[in-house]
Amino acid sequence: MPLAHLAPLRDRNFLRFWSGQTFSAFGDAFAVIAIPLLVLQATGSLRLMGVVTALAGVSAMVTGVFCGSLVDRVDRRLLMIGCDLARVVLCLTVPLVWWWHGPHLWLAVLVAVLLAAFGMLFGITYVTAVPNLVQDGAITQANGVLGASESLAYAIGPAVAGLVIAEFGAAAAIGIDGLTFLISAVTLTMLRFQRPQAERPTPGPGVFAEFTLGARFLAASSLFRWVTATTAVILFFVTGLNDLVIFYVKETLLRDDTAVGLVFACSSLGAVLSGLTIAWMRERFGFGACYLVGTIFEGIALLLVGFGPGLAALSVIMVVATFSGTIRGTLTMTIRQELTPDHMLGRVTAAFWASFMLPGAIGTVVMTGLGARIGAAYAIGVIGAMLVLVPLVAMRSSMNRRVPQLTD
């Protein structure tokens, strides 16, 4: 991989953004396993783990409908800082209440739902921030660098989180996540965006009409229609994967919270590798091959879980699956940034994300319910089978191009 793909790190402005988001990702890695474990601690139920994950998905979807036009019309840097500070308060509330009054399912639900809402708003703004921090030709490299460093944080974070949770409980891990949001907010105060505010400050036609503008932009392109539909179907199956893996480790393999952290830490190594290689892979193989073939490899890896692997084999499987899944996510974000006008990027991203939040929420309930009925390993195998089938259907579409094009 050419060192030129790390060029964004030479920009001091981007370096500040990168460092803050890496710290934030380290905290998020705690929350990935801490929130499901909070629910498991309070209820002991895989189904309720899935329900809480689904409710968070619905919260994100509703937020996405309303926030796209906001992102396109206000100072994006200040908006991101506000989201970070709100999440600081939410995360620090959990250990305070948990330690003083004991486990409460209502608190886990409330925090999960609100974190998802602010995370959605921050995430959409984050997507618009990257093109305003680097030159147009460096967007893939910037996303790769961000993805690699954040994935490295996820590689370390779950292992540390497992130790913290085993010693102090899941609530403490959520509190640490809050502190990392504070670090992110501080670094954001030091940034300069090329276009920090909207290019269209005049009042819009209304929230739903603004959201529809983003949806119509996606619908007008065969490429975006296929990417949106394919992503929605894939996320119907994979959104509940973390809950299934956690339950598999805890209840099938009978391992402790530290083992859960180690599995997720190992899986994140795949995301680190994808972040370091995505720009080279896209140049070498093209968009379609990376997205579709990568997803097929992810599916094949997950199919192997149905054969009941031990902890070490499961960790290797998750490395492969996470590598491919991260490639897919980075590519979809990059082509939106490259092909969407800046003043529309918030609304288009909101429409894109909202399109798969509801399927993801429903799919989480379905797949965790299936896991409770037939076993988590077999449910993960079902997910793998679908990740092989869906890309095969999309192979004959406009997605399967080396260079994506906005028009048909």
Residues 332, 291: Cα–Cα separation, whole Å = 9
Residue 102's CB is within 10 A of a number of other CB atoms, namely 8
Question: Do the Cβ atoms of 90 and 34 come closer than 8 Å?
Answer: no
CA distances from 76 to 61, 80, 268, 292, 406 (A): 20, 6, 29, 33, 26
* Per-residue pLDDT band at 206 (split at 50, 70, 90): low
> Which residue type is seen at 81?
I
* Helix (H) or strand (E) segment spanning residue 266: helix 257-285
Count of CA atoms in the C-beta half-sphere (13 A) of 325:
27
* Per-residue pLDDT band at 107 (split at 50, 70, 90): confident
| Residues composing the chain | 408
Task: Map out the domains of the chain with their CATH numbers.
Answer: 11-196+207-394 (1.20.1250.20)
Residues 393, 395: Cα–Cα separation, whole Å = 6
Residue 96's CB is within 10 A of a number of other CB atoms, namely 11
* Per-residue pLDDT band at 108 (split at 50, 70, 90): confident
Question: Do the Cβ atoms of 350 and 65 come closer than 8 Å?
Answer: yes
Question: Do the Cβ atoms of 268 and 151 come closer than 8 Å?
Answer: yes
Give the pLDDT confidence score for residue 84 in this predicted structure.
Answer: 92
Residues 224, 245: Cα–Cα separation, whole Å = 31
In terms of pLDDT, which residue wins out, 389 or 250?
A: 389
Give the pLDDT confidence score for residue 2 in this predicted structure.
Answer: 46
Give the pLDDT confidence score for residue 3 in this predicted structure.
Answer: 43
> Which residue type is seen at 208?
F
What value does the mean pLDDT take over residues 247-253? 86
Give the pLDDT confidence score for residue 4 in this predicted structure.
Answer: 46
Question: Do the Cβ atoms of 122 and 77 come closer than 8 Å?
Answer: no
DSSP percent split of the chain into helix, strand, coil, nearest 5 = 85, 0, 15
Rg (CA), the chain: 20
Name the token pair of 197. 């505010």
Give the pLDDT confidence score for residue 333 in this predicted structure.
Answer: 83
Looking at the predicted structure, is the pLDDT value of residue 243 above 50?
yes
Residue 315's CB is within 10 A of a number of other CB atoms, namely 19
In terms of pLDDT, which residue wins out, 66 or 253?
A: 253
Name the token pair of 146. 């961000």
The angle formed by the CA atoms of residues 50, 297 and 25, to the nearest 5 degrees, is: 55
Give the pLDDT confidence score for residue 1 in this predicted structure.
Answer: 43
Contacts 24+ apart (CB under 8 A), 11-19: 11/133, 11/134, 13/133, 13/191, 13/192, 14/133, 14/134, 14/142, 16/187, 16/190, 16/191, 17/129, 17/133, 17/187, 17/188, 17/191, 18/145, 18/146, 18/149, 19/187
Give the pLDDT confidence score for residue 154 in this predicted structure.
Answer: 66
CA distances from 120 to 143, 315, 340, 393 (A): 18, 29, 19, 29
Question: Do the Cβ atoms of 227 and 399 come closer than 8 Å?
Answer: yes
Question: Do the Cβ atoms of 238 and 383 come closer than 8 Å?
Answer: yes
> Which residue type is seen at 401?
R
Looking at the predicted structure, is the pLDDT value of residue 240 above 80?
yes
Work out the burial of residue 354: count CB atoms within 10 Å of its CB; fewer than 13 is exposed, 13-18 middle, 19 or more buried: buried
User: Would residue 353 be called left, alpha or beta, if left means φ above 0 and alpha means ψ between -120 and 50 degrees?
Assistant: alpha
Looking at the predicted structure, is the pLDDT value of residue 141 above 80?
no
* Helix (H) or strand (E) segment spanning residue 186: helix 170-188
